[in-house]
């Protein structure tokens, strides 16, 4: 997963950083040509660059965070699975629709010695791959494959680890014909029936019902710059503002960041990202993820099957805000 040899993809708010970096390089070059020692100045400038990077990434607006969450180099489900598991075998197909959906992948892995089922939305690594994987937008076959694998995990007492990273469930004629609504609905209900620990992590974009379709668990975690939305800010802007260009306002209003969702009681844990986002240091992000998964798994493993189900029920039962006049 070394990405350093590839040309970086820059987001607009990273521009001051790039300018600073190129200035450092310039000075270094000049100093070498003229044989002058500028290591002090360079050290100072580099410290400044690190500080600036930290400042920028700690104060991202929701729509900037959305850009980080959608970054083409952001580590994907398969990247994380390969980085955190001792071994892994991918399994295919839902045994009913007749197509293996590559936008939702899954299989059996060994995590710190323990067999687990891992599954998640899979975006493509480049344009060609993205076409094959439908940009991580799963079809009913994907959700049914996920359910098949989760039932498998339940049968063999393996914990379930899901990775959420999708703009949303696929909105196409074929997806509707095959029952997109039914496929997601079925998962929502059945995930409450399962008697093994379920850990869900939003690694990038959590797009609405398409995310929730593999998102019912005992713990919900999000990477720091991930987002989770009821509707994409673009769609929300088009519907409520009647103007798609108001997406940044919608992103702000919808409360989609990890910190916002923690405050609303929806999220259990925020996973810190390396400075510059998970794509700046994927292995470090994977290490954070692995530690969090192992810690949560250790806690959940102590619970009985019925306790696990009861607590999962209560966790979702308590979500919602309203007033009761007589109370």
Where does this chain bind another protein (CB under 8 A)? 169-173, 175-182, 184-186, 188-190, 192-193, 208-209, 212-213, 215-216, 228-231, 235-236, 239-242, 249-250, 253-256, 261, 264, 266, 312-313, 316-317, 319-327
| Size of the chain in residues | 327
Pairing of strands 104-111, 160-166: unpaired
Least separation in angstroms between CB 279 and another protein: 24
Residue whose CB is less far from another protein, 81 or 216 = 216
Q: 196: which 2 tokens?
A: 């093994």
Residue whose CB is less far from another protein, 254 or 297 = 254
Q: 244: which 2 tokens?
A: 């798609």
Least separation in angstroms between CB 280 and another protein: 27
Query: What does 110-160 look like in DSSP terms, one character per residue?
Result: EETTEEEEEEEE---SSHHHHHHTGGG---HHHHHHHHHHHHHHHHTT--E
Question: What own/partner pairs with CB < 8 Å and gap ≥ 24 does 13-18 have?
Answer: 13/56, 13/60, 13/64, 13/67, 14/56, 16/52, 16/56, 17/49, 17/52, 17/53, 17/56
Residue whose CB is less far from another protein, 89 or 319 = 319
Cα distances (angstroms) measured from residue 298 to each of 126, 165, 199, 208, 270? 36, 25, 12, 29, 18
Least separation in angstroms between CB 302 and another protein: 22
Residue whose CB is less far from another protein, 25 or 239 = 239
Least separation in angstroms between CB 94 and another protein: 16
Residue whose CB is less far from another protein, 153 or 236 = 236
Closest CA relative to residue 134, chosen from 89, 88, 90, 180:
180
Residue whose CB is less far from another protein, 85 or 201 = 201
Least separation in angstroms between CB 318 and another protein: 9
Least separation in angstroms between CB 190 and another protein: 8
Q: 168: which 2 tokens?
A: 């949303």
């Amino acid at each position: 997963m070394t990405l350093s040899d590839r040309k970086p993809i820059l987001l607009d708010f990273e521009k001051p950083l790039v300018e600073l970096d190129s200035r450092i390089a310039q000075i270094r070059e000049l100093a070498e040509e003229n044989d002058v020692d500028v290591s002090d100045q360079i050290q100072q400038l580099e410290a400044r660059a690190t500080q600036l990077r930290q400042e920028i990434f700690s104060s991202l607006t929701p729509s900037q965070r959305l850009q980080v969450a959608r970054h083409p180099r952001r580590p994907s489900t398969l990247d994380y699975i390969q980085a955190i598991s001792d071994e892994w075998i991918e399994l295919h197909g839902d045994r009913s629709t007749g197509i293996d959906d590559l936008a939702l992948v899954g299989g059996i892995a060994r995590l710190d010695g323990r067999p687990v089922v891992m599954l998640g939305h899979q975006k493509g690594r480049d344009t060609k791959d993205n076409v094959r994987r439908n940009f991580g937008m799963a079809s009913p076959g994907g959700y049914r494959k996920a359910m098949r694998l989760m039932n498998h995990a339940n049968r063999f007492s393996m914990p379930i680890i899901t990775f959420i990273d999708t703009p949303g469930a696929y909105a196409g004629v074929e997806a509707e014909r095959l029952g997109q609504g039914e496929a997601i609905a079925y998962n929502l209900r059945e995930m409450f029936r399962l008697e093994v620990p379920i850990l869900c992590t939003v690694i990038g974009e959590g797009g609405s019902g398409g995310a929730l379709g593999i998102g019912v668990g005992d713990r919900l975690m999000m990477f720091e710059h991930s987002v989770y939305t009821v509707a994409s800010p673009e769609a929300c802007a088009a519907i409520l503002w009647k103007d798609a260009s108001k997406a940044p306002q919608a992103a702000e209003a919808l409360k989609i960041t990890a910190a916002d969702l923690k405050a609303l009681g929806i999220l259990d844990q925020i996973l810190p990202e390396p400075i510059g986002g998970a794509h700046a240091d994927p292995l470090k992000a994977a290490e954070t993820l692995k530690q969090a998964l192992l810690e949560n798994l250790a806690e959940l493993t102590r619970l009985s099957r019925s306790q696990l189900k009861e607590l999962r029920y209560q966790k979702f039962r308590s979500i919602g805000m309203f007033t009761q006049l007589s109370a």
